[in-house]
Amino acid sequence: MSFLNVIRRRLMFLILVLFGVTVITFTISNLIPGDPARMIAGDRATPEIVQNIREDLGLDKPLPVQYLRYLEGVVQGDFGNSIRTRRPVLEDLRIFFPATLELALTALFFATALGIPLGVASAVWKDKPVDHFVRVIAVTGISTPAFWLGLLVILLFYGNLGWLPSGGRIDPSLEMPTRVTGFLMIDSLLAGDLQAFGSALKHILLPAFTLGFVHLGVVARQVRAAMLEELQQDYIRTAKANGLSRFKVVFTEALPNAMIPSITVLGLALGDLLYGAVLTETVFAWPGMGAYVVNSIQALDFPAVMGFTVVVSLAYVLINLAVDLIYMAVDPRIREVS
């Protein structure tokens, strides 16, 4: 199967997924009790005012008509206007999504940069103290709620030690770097503003650790299992018989092959991190999509909630596409099978 075929198939799949996601979220949004028009109008508005708002927003039309109108907009890149912020939803997402993505990618980096070596060590020294230690870390990670861990690290690193800030993306006294990518760490480097970069880095450490900790355990366990599997393969024995050192056997023979099944887990982890950020962002006052969507839900701001859902679904499908393509790039067996 060629790369192009996979991309084509996945993109067709994407259309189906987005159709399904919009139908479901649209239906659910309208089943939830609560009238957005009344929310906007306020407590003391007369029925006529509420009715006017309803007509303005097209909420008086039958549901299928409302849905089609929404879909028509989405296809043209118009997610409607947020009821709460009164700005186009797309513009809001453009502001908040990069913040979430920056946090999620940093968390993923943290989880893999620590999780892969821990998993390898755990497999190489199976049943030794290192292995037990890694297993405890993994189980702790998986069973610790992120919001609780977030509060703990704030208490320690901000409250007791005073080393790191408790929330936000950057020191409010600093000037924000010119927006290029929306990733503060990259934008500040592009602007050559090291002070802003340092502040952004300090601000992201605690939330990224909190968010990534769960996945650190998942990654370490996955890599451990895959490494154990590879290390008992016959080709490892051949490599040893060929005189490869233990180090080379582990890192140039077993690890690359063990990473193939682990890529799936990393892809799923990134998807999880994107929506898992909601809680973490709330704890750390991180101005990302999580905080945005929580506020939107409370305000019955359906266009905003739907915009969020569509973007996250889109990200999920694209991440899976990336996983498939990486699979093909690293495993010749998959590449050749047609």
Partner 1 sequence: MADPVLKIDGLEVLFPGFSGDVHAVNGVDLDVQRGEIVGLVGESGSAKSVTAMTALGLLPPGAFRQSAGTISILGRDVATMSEREMNKLRGGDVAMIFQEPQTALNPTKTIGKQMLRVIELHSDLRGMAARDRAIELLKDMRINDAEEILGRYPFELSGGMRQRILIGMAFACSPKLLVADEPTTALDVTVQRQVLQLLHAKARQTGASVLFISHDLAVISQFCDRIYVMYAGRVVESGPAQKVLGNPQHPYTAALIEALPEDADPGAPLASIPGTVPNLVNPPKGCAFQARCRHAHAACDSRPVLTDVGSKHQAACWLREEISA
Where on the chain is the footprint of partner 1 (CB under 8 A)? 232-235, 237-246, 253, 256-257, 260, 330-333, 336
Please give the structure tokens belonging to residue 249. 């056997």
Q: Minimum distance from CB of 231 to partner 1 (Å)? A: 9
Please give the structure tokens belonging to residue 10. 């996945």
Cβ nearer to partner 1, comparing 122 with 210: 122
Q: Do 293 and 305 touch, CB atoms closer than 8 A?
A: yes
Helices (H), the chain: 3-31, 36-41, 47-57, 63-75, 89-124, 129-143, 146-153, 184-190, 194-231, 234-241, 246-248, 255-283, 289-298, 302-330, 332-336
Report residue 129: phi and psi, to 5°. Answer: -50, -40
Cβ nearer to partner 1, comparing 63 with 329: 329
Cβ nearer to partner 1, comparing 28 with 329: 329
Q: Minimum distance from CB of 136 to partner 1 (Å)? A: 22
Cβ nearer to partner 1, comparing 171 with 331: 331
C-alpha–C-alpha distance, residues 318 and 332, integer Å: 22
Cβ nearer to partner 1, comparing 178 with 242: 242
C-alpha–C-alpha distance, residues 162 and 32, integer Å: 44
- Burial pattern 299-328, b for ≥16 Cβ within 10 A else e, equals bbbbbbbbbbbbbbbebbbebbbebbebbb
Q: Minimum distance from CB of 260 to partner 1 (Å)? A: 8
Cβ nearer to partner 1, comparing 44 with 246: 246
Q: Minimum distance from CB of 267 to partner 1 (Å)? A: 19
Please give the structure tokens belonging to residue 228. 């154990």
Please give the structure tokens belonging to residue 24. 């479901």
Q: Minimum distance from CB of 253 to partner 1 (Å)? A: 6
C-alpha dist (Å) from residue 34 to 26, 142, 267: 14, 36, 37
Q: Minimum distance from CB of 174 to partner 1 (Å)? A: 47
Cβ nearer to partner 1, comparing 77 with 129: 129
Q: Minimum distance from CB of 254 to partner 1 (Å)? A: 9
Residue 27's nearest CA partner among 76, 58, 84, 70 is 70
